[in-house]
Chains A and B, each alone.
Chain A
């Protein structure tokens, strides 16, 4: 009677022992499959999410370069000299404390260069682009802003904030899902002298779509020319946009979105816009890297700019799902090692409880290899059955497991979002991250990997446990 015949009879005629091993291997195999599937699902979810959120690049001014340029121009004007050059101004002021030098810049110095933006927008693969102006403080002429009566307004600029956009739908606040239109429409390219106000401002001050708002320079509210912007929409926010600095000028409810060319007019610098951000939308996210490379090769003065992938949403989103991938990987690792320890213990118990049987077989002239081979065959037979069973249950369990992990990640993201609720308005906001479903599939490769992993675990475990037999003399085994 050979090892296979003995192994088969042992498996069939000792059902409790066989069932326990079956159950153990089944669970290990199932967990490994679920781990592999959810790891793969997380990657797929990332891709899907990336596709859904879209992808793009943001162009900002490089602060280090700005400081360096300012310093260089100031030197050109000359130390101890008053003057203006390339948007940098130096002026001597006599104060009660003596002579003081004041330096400042205007829009021509601070703004992103429109030709550079247009060059980048023309790169193949860019489907659309947006330009957002600097937050521009202006004086509201024919309406009152929202104020907190408890705030000391003496150091406030007494105005409201204008944010001009070429295409409001590509503004970072809109892309992130924080700002949505509740009435009317957004600003689109080609609009002139239009604005979109907050629902709070509209509600408290009785403003509505179609009304015309008047603004002028807050430095000289009495004399400066007045410019009109017609309300075309009313927006709502999920979280208030945090103010750039203290005072009611910058409070979220007093932020008014306008067309791109409007803010410079009441600011008193018509013809000298201040563009703070440019956003370039990638047509096909699969071509993201290619488009990025092409943009980086565009001939512009890159030292002036920071080139940022997307606006932060995707990075955050991606990191969440990267976490999921890590958790899945960790789960696989833990299952593998826990399974290894569990199987080692099971087989150690098996071998020890069958030492008499081993001794009998050895006394009958069977080699230790044959005895161990029988145990391995039994293990492989049971493991193969368990593995097959886990194939059937794998997809369902994997989907449930991956779904659970994704939900956990979403909850985590939600908690993080709440914690970051009052971040500065100009920073990116967390985007809407609703994962409607997790695509989980158990592929042949996964099954092969899982089968190989389980087989390896079983073989190593039997080998480890088999040392008990191998290192003992037949007489010692029998005497046990």
Chain B
């Protein structure tokens, strides 16, 4: 067990009377691809953000390797324990693919880019001039640049066509199985859910 959510509850400060998450429990292991499903507004992205250490739960706690993530600080958690992939890629527009990957960690960006199918001719281009699929690959390469054991992805195939989405799914699956990482994907995609080792439904994780 690398990551665990213990009775996690959360509401936004602007809507204190509306619980987004209530007493959510979940356990995640390395070497597996998890798909978190749920209707819009069910709190999938919020849950992923809490796992990523972008905020702290109102109640309950997130533990990494058995220890609360707040123990060493959320910044350290974000830097060393997890890496994030977003639906809208979230690449820095004034950095080229190599530089974007270098932001993620110390691993060789060229090797990482090659390993996920980004050819050398694209390495020094403006990231905004790459296709959606290429941009998402660069984002994944950036996530892999760190030694983090957990990769969190928020709708990674949401903006991609079917073929490219399938490639990204395979890539994430390979990362989980071959590199032994814990890959947690928030998705609406049935294809993704089918490929996942474990599917979690927000509705079932939440207390009634």
Contacts and interface: CB of A to CB of B under 8 A. Distances in A.
Interface of A: 1, 6, 9-10, 13-14, 356-357, 359-367, 473-475, 478
A478 B75 contact: no
A14 B94 contact: yes
A193 B64 CA distance: 115
Nearest to A476: B55
Interface string B146-187: 100000000000000000000000000000000000000000
B49 A475 contact: yes
A9 B95 contact: yes
A6 B142 CA distance: 16
Given A6-B92, A365-B78, 7 more contacts: A1-B103, A9-B95, A357-B92, A362-B54, A362-B78, A473-B55, A474-B78
B84 interface: yes
Q: Is the interface of A mostly helix, strand, loop or mixed?
A: helix
Interface string B77-103: 011100110000011111100010011
Contact of A364 (B46, B49, B94, B103): B103
A364 B78 contact: yes
Contacts of B146: 365
B99 A364 contact: no
Interface residues of B, number: 25
B102 A1 contact: yes
Interface of B: 46, 49, 52, 54-55, 74-76, 78-80, 83-84, 90-95, 99, 102-104, 142, 146
A478 B152 CA distance: 15
Contacts of A474: 54-55, 74, 78
A13 B124 CA distance: 13
Given A1-B103, A356-B90, A357-B92, A367 B52 contact: no
B79 A364 contact: yes
A10 B94 contact: yes
A475 B55 contact: yes
B99 A1 contact: yes
Contacts of A475: 46, 49, 54-55
Nearest to A474: B54
9 contacts: A6-B95, A9-B94, A9-B95, A356-B90, A362-B54, A363-B90, A364-B83, A364-B103, A474-B78
Contacts of A473: 54-55
Contacts of A362: 54, 78
